[in-house]
Chain A
Amino acid sequence: MTSTPRYNGIINLAALATFALIPYVLAALTGQPDPNLTGLARWHSAAESVYCEKGLTPTGVILMVETTLFAAALLVTQWTQGATRLGAMGNALKQDGGYMLALLVLIVIPFVIAWGTDSSICIRGKAFFWESVFIDVFVLAILAISYNLMFGFSGVVSFGHAAFFGMGAYSVGLLMHHLAWPWWLAVIGSLLIGVVIALVKGVIGLRIKGLYFALFTLAFAQVFYLLAGNRLLTDITGAEDGFTFAVPDWLNATKNRLFFYYLALVIFVLAFFLVRRLMNSPTGKVLSALRDNESRAQMLGYNVFHFKLIAIVLAGLLATGAGVLRGIVLKGASPEVLSLSYTFDPLLMTIIGGQGTFAGPVIGAFGLHLIEETLRDTVLTIGGVEIKIGERWALILGVMFILIVLVFPYGIVGTWRLQWQKWKAAQRK
Chain B
Amino acid sequence: MATSPAPQLRTSFFRQALITSGLFVLGLIVVNFIFFKPGTVAVVLLSGLYQGLLFFLVAAGMSIVFGLLDVLNLAQGSFFMLGAYSGFAIYGALPEGTPVEIRFIAALIGATLVGGGLGALTEAILLRPLYARPVFQIVLTFGLSTVIVEVVRALYGPAGLVPIEKPAALDTTFSVLGGQFETYRVFIIVVGFVLMVSISLLLQRTRLGIVIRAGVQDSQMVQALGINIRRIFTLVFALGTAVAALGGMTAAPFLGAYPSMGGDFLLTAIIVIVIGGMSSYEGTAIASVLVGLTRATTEQISLQYFNTPILASISILIFMVVVLLVRPTGLFGRE
Identify which of residues 121-142 in chain B touch chain A, using a CB-to-CB cut-off of 8 Å. Answer: 126, 129-130, 133, 135-136, 138-140, 142
Q: Is A406 within 8 A of B140, CB to CB? A: yes
Determine the chain B residues whose CB is within 8 A of the CB of A406 once the complex forms.
126, 129-130, 140
> How far does the alpha carbon of A401 sit from the alpha carbon of B308 in the complex, in Å?
36
Is the beta-carbon distance between B72 and A211 smaller than 8 angstroms? yes
A residues in contact (CB < 8 Å) with B: 157, 204, 207-209, 211-212, 214-216, 218-220, 222-223, 226-227, 230-232, 344, 347-348, 351, 392, 394-395, 397-402, 405-406, 409
CB contacts (< 8 Å) of A230 on chain B: these are: 308, 310
Given contacts A223-B317, A230-B308, contact A218 B270 (CB under 8 A): yes
- Contact indicator B321/A216 (Cβ below 8 Å): yes
CB pair A402–B308 under 8 Å, yes or no, is: no
In the bound complex, CA of A347 to CA of B317 (Å) = 23
- Are B328 and A207 interface neighbours, CB within 8 A? yes
0/1 interface trace, chain B 274-291, chain A, CB 8 Å (1 if under): 100010000000000000
A-B contact pairs, 15 of them (CB 8 A): A212-B274, A219-B317, A223-B317, A232-B308, A348-B139, A395-B150, A395-B151, A400-B143, A401-B140, A402-B140, A405-B130, A405-B143, A406-B126, A406-B129, A406-B130
A-facing residues in B281-335 (Cβ within 8 Å): 306, 308, 310, 313-314, 317, 320-321, 324-325, 328-330
Contact in complex: A219, B320 (CB < 8 Å)? yes
* A218 partner residues in chain B, CB cutoff 8 A: 267, 270
Whether B310 and A226, one on each chain, are in contact in the complex, defined by CB atoms closer than 8 angstroms, is: yes
Asked if B313 and A226 sit within 8 Å, CB to CB, the answer is yes
Contacts of B150 in A (CB 8 A): 392, 394-395, 398
- Contact of A399 with B143 at beta-carbon distance under 8 Å, contacts A212-B278, A232-B310 already known: yes
Contact: B314 with A209, CB < 8 Å?
Answer: no
List residues of chain A with CB within 8 A of the CB of B329: 212
Provide the bound-state CA to CA distance between A297 and B126, in Å. 34
The distance from the CB of A163 to the nearest CB of chain B, in whole angstroms, is 12
B133, B135, B140, B321 — which one has the most chain A CB atoms within 10 A of its CB? B135
CB contact between A402 and one of B143, B278, B324 (< 8 Å): that residue: B143
| Given A226-B314, A406-B126: A397 touches B146 (CB 8 Å cut-off) | yes
Tell me if B154 counts as interface (CB < 8 A to partner A): yes
Contacts of B267 in A (CB 8 A): 218-219, 222
When distances are taken between beta carbons in the complex, the residues of chain A under 8 Å from B270 are 215, 218-219
Chain A residues in 8 Å Cβ range of B130: 405-406
CA distance A351 to B126 in the complex (A): 17
| Most B C-beta atoms less than 10 A away, residue of A226, A406, A409 | A406
* Whole-angstrom distance between the Cβ of B264 and the nearest chain A Cβ: 11
Q: Classify the interface of chain A: helix, strand, loop or mixed.
A: helix
Nearest-CB distance from B277 to chain A (Å)?
A: 10
Of B308, B314, B317, most buried by chain A (CB within 10 Å of CB) is B317
The interface residues of chain B lying within 8 Å CB-to-CB of A157 are 135
Task: Write out the residue numbers on chain A whose beta carbons fall within 8 Å of the beta carbon of B139.
Answer: 347-348, 351, 401, 405
Question: How close is B28's CB to chain A, nearest CB, in angstroms?
Answer: 20
Measured between beta carbons, the chain B residues less than 8 angstroms from A216 are: 274, 320-321, 324
- 4 smallest CB-CB distances across A and B, nearest first, come from A401-B143, A398-B146, A395-B150, A398-B147
Q: Is the CB of A405 within 8 A of B140?
A: yes
Q: A186 vs B151: C-alpha distance in the bound complex, in angstroms?
A: 42
Of the candidates A227, A400, A401, A409, which one forms a contact with B133 in the assembled complex, judged by CB atoms under 8 Å apart?
A: A409
Contacts of B313 in A (CB 8 A): 222, 226
Chain B nearest Cβ from A202, distance in angstroms: 14
Whether A401 contacts B324 in the complex (CB less than 8 A), given A219-B271, A406-B130, A409-B133, comes out as no
Q: How far is the CA of A397 from the CA of B146 in the complex (A)?
A: 8
Chain B nearest CB from A158 CB (Å) reads 11
Set of chain A residues within 8 Å of B149, measured between Cβ atoms: 394
Q: Closest chain A residue to B307 by CB distance?
A: A231
CB distance from B116 to the nearest CB of A (A): 21
A401 to B142, CA, bound (A): 8
Partner of B325, one of A207, A211, A344: A207
Q: Do A398 and B144 form a contact, CB below 8 Å, given A392-B150, A392-B154, A406-B129?
A: yes
Q: Which residues on the A side are within 8 Å of B140 (C-beta)?
A: 401-402, 405-406
Closest approach, in angstroms, between the C-beta of B257 and any C-beta of chain A?
Answer: 19
Contact yes or no, B274 A215, CB < 8 A: yes
Which residues on B sit within 8 Å (CB–CB) of A219?
A: 267, 270-271, 274, 317, 320-321
15 extra interface residue pairs, beta carbon distance < 8 Å, beyond A402-B126, A402-B147, A405-B139 = A204-B321, A212-B278, A215-B270, A216-B274, A218-B267, A219-B271, A223-B317, A348-B139, A351-B139, A398-B143, A398-B144, A399-B143, A402-B144, A405-B136, A405-B140
How long is the Cα–Cα vector from A204 to B324 in the complex, in angstroms?
A: 9
* Assembled-state Cα–Cα distance A394/B259 (Å): 13
Name B150's closest neighbour in chain A (CB-CB). Answer: A395
Residues of A within 8 A of B126 (CB): 402, 406
Q: In the complex, which residues of chain A have a beta carbon less than 8 angstroms from the beta carbon of B72?
A: 211, 215
Option from B129, B136, B147, B274 in Cβ contact (under 8 Å) with A395: B147
What's the Cα separation between A219 and B133 when bound, in Å? 24
Q: Considering the chains assembled together, what is the distance between the CA atoms of A413 and B309 in angstroms?
A: 46
Q: Which residues of A contact B310 (CB under 8 A)?
A: 226-227, 230-232
Residue ID in chain B nearest A402 by CB atoms: B143
| Residue from B144, B145, B146, B328 in contact with A212 in the complex, judged by beta carbons closer than 8 Å | B328
With a CB–CB cut-off of 8 A, which chain B residues contact A394?
146, 149-150
Give the residues in chain B near A215, CB-CB below 8 Å.
Answer: 72, 270, 274
Within 8 A of A (CB), among B149-178: 149-151, 154
CA of A227 to CA of B311, assembled, Å: 10
The distance in angstroms between the C-alpha atoms of A231 and B325, with both chains bound, is 30
Checking A212, A347, A395 against B324 with a beta-carbon cut-off of 8 angstroms, the contacting residue is A212
Which B residues are CB-close (under 8 A) to A401?
139-140, 142-144, 146
